[in-house]
Structure formats: structure tokens, C-alpha cells
Amino acid sequence: MKCRKCDLKAAINMRQHKLALCKTHFLEWVCLQTERNILKYKMFSKEDNILVAVSGGKDSLALWDVLHKLGYKTAGVYIHLGIHGEDQYSTKSQILAENFASEHHLVLHIVNAKQELGKTIPEFSESNKRGKSKPCSVCGLVKRHTMNEIASKYNYDVLVTGHNLDDEVSVLFNNVLGWQIDFLRRQAPFIPAKAGLIPKAKPFCRFYERETAAYAILSNIEYIEEECPFSEGSTTIQNKELLNQLEHQRAGTKLAFYLKFLKAKKELFSSQEGDHFTDEIFSCPICGQPTPNPGNCTFCRMVTRY
Amino acid sequence: MKCRKCDLKAAINMRQHKLALCKTHFLEWVCLQTERNILKYKMFSKEDNILVAVSGGKDSLALWDVLHKLGYKTAGVYIHLGIHGEDQYSTKSQILAENFASEHHLVLHIVNAKQELGKTIPEFSESNKRGKSKPCSVCGLVKRHTMNEIASKYNYDVLVTGHNLDDEVSVLFNNVLGWQIDFLRRQAPFIPAKAGLIPKAKPFCRFYERETAAYAILSNIEYIEEECPFSEGSTTIQNKELLNQLEHQRAGTKLAFYLKFLKAKKELFSSQEGDHFTDEIFSCPICGQPTPNPGNCTFCRMVTRY
């Protein structure tokens, strides 16, 4: 199969777009599409200071690479969660994130959970009823809190994450299965600043996972290939497998599901109140971050309890 | 495993309800739950004349059996669609529907597509661009039209169909994947009368397919076991397989997906206009049935064209 734009052999064929491209034109296409998404969803501009949430995986490093190439002002934040498994998962990821930052002469903020919060994610999870079997909810809480804190401390304008289409569709699928209207209402490529929370953007939300992986591989970005050891058997992974079956049966299903959702949202939620953040917001007396209830926030309650 | 209500061996274990029952108590439970659904969704009463859409399959015959046992005034309608495959599908189904009616001394209206409309469903489909490969949309059109016609001609108060939870969830899943808001808005256990259309009810909408099958088998109802030969490889079947995987991973997923949808609908659509039927409705000059556009209705255009 040949590249649609030149005579070279295609490096990737994207069935859902009916588009095959060689390496050079594919890398160019990813940058172009990312720029389009940024503009389409009014995410940020070249003037903004952008904080990239970096995990050391393909999505976040590819995103950082693309934003840097496009000329955006970026720095990264890496949180060492203390997840090791058999293979020193967190430490390996950190090294890869640091390598990328130094090769590109970019700033990388590093937060070490054990050193700065007193415990690793598995340790927090052990001593927390909710995270006993799976530390994913504790991990999400720590990441959200810490990233918002770094963004606020260093005056970043927006936090960007490497969520790809498969991530977004898996979450959407789960929210639809349980008809969680508040979650549906809040799911978006860009979430504006509200009550002390930094704006959040997902410039890769329209790329299939195999496209971001192809970008990282073809760009020779070294990333951690293993999945987080705790993700095994998770609902997210189960959902992704089911959605891949659907995509295999009908190419383009995932992209259509997501884009039609974004369109439907306008009709479904237009006449209703914005979202929960329009409700009263309190300030946590310990960390100062916004919280929906008076008193210490969930994060500080977790950290101080143990 | 024992029946929860007596000491007998359970005939069925319903994981999603954490309920195992013997034959007698299961048959009793199905009747009780059906009655509850009828009341809960305000479907119809013992005074109403009920027309049961009978296909000869397990769902419609089980439903007719349950309604008859519960003391509702019912008659059936069977449409011979002229679908034969290798095994005289339509003719075999008709015999089973007739046997059930005569054994229970119930009226069964029979409409033969070839004799009354001039063509079988496969023949209509052959000469119709939209149904060339799959006659399912033509079949749906003919059934909807014919049933409404019979109901109107003989003054029935409500049309009931044997749609079970798996049917409803498969449709819901498809409507959600494509975010078809109008279809989502209209999907309900009971659709009231509007503009010349008979009310439609689905008293089995909360039963899993394996429950209606178990009811038919344990009641010794003879039904056609083959699926319609045209359903092979259909989106509905693909969806059902995926949803069965989900159900297997997390028991109760299908029921929760449906019930939470019904609840969410109230919130999502409450502030919006009812549905399409509130728009202007015209009367077809040929058949007199309601149609959303002036001039002959889709059914009459199809029948008179060929």
C-alpha cells in the first residue's frame, strides 16, 4: 500500500479514515491534526504556559513531542507513584521521562509520592478501605491533586494530558453503561478553569491508540511499554477489548461514538445547568485547593489519616 | 442448588437477581413480575382488548401465555411474511402460533403478505433498493403497518410485543453508539396512543432472554427455535454477543444499563419537547394511517410501486 501523498510505501493504514501514509507524512499529519484539535476545542494558544502530565508512556511523551514541535511553551510534570511490580515500573518510567526532557532541553517537575507525601500509592491503598484491592482510585486522587498543585505553584495556564480516543471512549462507554449523567456532562476535550482548578485539555482525544503508538515508534521516542501492573483485569481494559471487537466489526465505530457524543451533549445538556462546579466551592484549610464540601479535602484527609 | 421458596431443586438460577427457583415458583415469578411491569409502566388493564403480536417464537408465545393466565382479554395477530429459508420458516411458525391459539381457545388473526399485499418480504426486498441485501427494514415496515391496521380494524386498545431485555438492550446499545437522540427519546416499555397509532407495550422488557426461554420450555410451549434466516450476522446479533460478554464479566450489567437508562431519560428529556409525534401528522390517502409527511405513506408507496 502506498502513501496517499507521495509514492513511498505507507507506514500506517488508518481504516477509519481510509488513509494510508508514509512515515514522514504520518508524523506531519499527527502534528496537523493536533493543532486542529487545539483550535477546534479552543484549548490554549502559543502564549500560554502549558504543563504536560507525563507518565513515561507513549501517549504523554508523543503529546509533549508534538506540542514542542508545534512551538508551544511546555514543561512536564512526572509523579513517581512508587509502583514497582517485578520491573521497577515507576523508576523506569521516570528515567524515560527525564531522558526525553533533557534531550529536548525542557523542564520536568518531579514529585515523589513516598518522599513528599510519606507513602507510595500501593501503601496509601493498603491502608485505605476503598483502594484495598485496586489502588486506581487512590492513584487518580493523588495525581489530580498533585498536578493541580504544581500548576498553581508555578503559574501554568493549562494542564494537558495524553488521553487518546481509546481512553476517552472507554470512559464514555462506562459512563453510558451506568448512565452517569454528571460524568457524561463533564466529559470533554477541554475543561475550562473553575474555582481554583486549572483548565485541562486533551489534544490527542481524537487519535486512536494505535496512532499515538505509531507516532512514538516512528519518532524513535523511548517510552515504557508495559502497562501499569495494577491495570490488569480492570474495567477499563475489559471495555477497551470489547470496543476493539466493535471497531473490528465496523471500522470507525469508536471515533463516531465519541464525536457523536460530543455533538449530542450540546442538545442533551444545553438547557440544563452547567455542572457540579457551579455549586458552592470551599477551600481546603490544609492545602488551599478547592473542594465541594467544607472542611479538609479528600486528598488531605487521606494523607493526614495514615 | 435449591429453590429459594421451597425445598425442591432449582430449575433456574438468575445470577443478576441472586435468585434460584424451582419450576413452579419460577413460572409463578414470571407471571408476578409481568403483572408488576404492566402496573409500573401503566400499560393496560383487565378491561382492555389486547392484541398480541405473535411470531411463533418463545417470547411472543410465552407472553401470550402469561397474559392469558393473568386473566387479560387477549387475541393474537400472526403475519405470514413468506420467509422460508431451507426450512419453511414462516409456515412452521404459523402452525405453532395456530396450535397455541386453538389449544387455549383464543382468537388469532392471520395476515398473509403474499396473498394480501401481493408479495412476500423477500420479494418486496428484492425489488427495493433499501432492502436488497437485508430485508429487515422492509419487514419492520410491513409488520408495523399491518399490526396497526388490524388493531384499528378490530378496535383493540393496545398492541403488545414480546420484546425481552436482550432485545431492548441491543437496540439501546445501537442507539447509544450512534447517539441517536430521537430514537433514545422514543425507546420505552410503553408508548401511548398518538395520532392514530395504537398504544404499544412490552410487558417482558425486564426479562432476560434466557428467562423467557426457560418460561416457554418449562411451560411446554411449542415454539419455533430457529432464528429468522435473515438475522444471521446482523448488527442486533453482534450487539447481543458483545452484551453477553459484558454480562458474563459483570452479572446484571444489561438490566442495570436498561433500568438506569429509563431513569436517566426523565432527567435528560424532561425539559425538552416530547417527541416527533407532536409534530404535524398527515393521513395517508390510500390506507388512512398516520404519516409524518403529506401524500402516500412509506408502506403504500412500497406496495403500490411494484
Q: Which residues of A touch B178 (CB under 8 A)?
A: 256-257, 260
Residue A133 is predicted with a pLDDT of 61
The mean-pLDDT minimum among A72-86, B202-216, B250-264 falls in A72-86
Q: How confident is the model at residue B95 (pLDDT cuts 50, 70, 90)?
A: very high
Please tell me the predicted confidence (pLDDT) of residue A279: 65
Ranges under pLDDT 50 in chain A = 272-277
pLDDT one-digit tens code per residue, A208-231 = 999 999 999 999 999 999 888 888
**Per-residue model confidence (pLDDT) at position B48:** 98
Is A293 near chain B, with CB under 8 Å? no
CB contact under 8 A, A264 and B177: no
From A234, which residue of chain B is nearest by alpha-carbon distance?
Answer: B249
Would you call A177 an interface residue with chain B, using a CB distance cutoff of 8 Å?
yes
Nearest chain A Cα distance for residue B244, angstroms = 11
Residues in chain A: 306
pLDDT tens readout for residues B140-163:
989 999 999 999 999 999 999 999
Cβ neighbours for A271, distance < 8 A, ≥ 6 positions apart: B271, B272
User: Is residue B228 predicted with pLDDT exceeding 90?
Assistant: no
| A253 → closest Cβ in B177, B261, B271 | B177
Q: Does B272 touch chain A (CB under 8 A)?
A: yes
Quick one: cell of A37?
484539535
Please say if the pLDDT value at position B280 is more than 80.
no
ipTM exceeds 0.95, yes or no: no
B251 interface with A at CB cutoff 8 Å: no
Q: Which residues of A touch B237 (CB under 8 A)?
A: none
Say yes or no for a CB contact (<8 Å) between B261 and A177: no
Q: Beta B49-53 vs B158-160: how paired, if at all?
A: parallel
| Closest alpha carbon to B186 in B168, B159, B212 | B168
Asked if B234 is an interface residue toward chain A (Cβ–Cβ < 8 A), one would say no
Could you give the 3-state DSSP secondary structure of residue A289?
Answer: coil
Q: What is the mean pLDDT of residues B76-86?
A: 88
Mean residue pLDDT of chain A comes to 91
pLDDT at B240: 93
What local confidence, expressed as pLDDT, does residue A125 receive?
A: 84
* A-B contacts at Cβ under 8 angstroms: 43
Q: What are phi and psi of A55, to 5 degrees?
A: -105, -15
**Residue B8 CB contacts under 8 Å (≥ 6 apart), including other chains:** B2, B22, B23, B24
Closest CA to B74 of B83, B85, B66: B66
Model pLDDT, residue B194? 84
* A118-A122-A126 Cα angle (round to 5): 95
Closest CA to B31 of B79, B4, B68, B76: B68
Question: Which amino acid would we find at residue B1?
Answer: M
- Model pLDDT, residue A226: 87
Distance from CA of B44 to the nearest CA of A (A): 28
The pLDDT value recorded for residue B278 is: 56
A264 at interface of B, judged by CB pairs closer than 8 A: yes
C-alpha to C-alpha distance for A95 and A122, rounded to whole angstroms: 20
At A76 the pLDDT is: 98
At B303 the pLDDT is 84
CB of A193 within 8 A of CB of A199? yes
Q: Is the pLDDT of residue B277 over 70?
A: no
Which pLDDT band holds residue B124 (cuts at 50, 70, 90)? confident
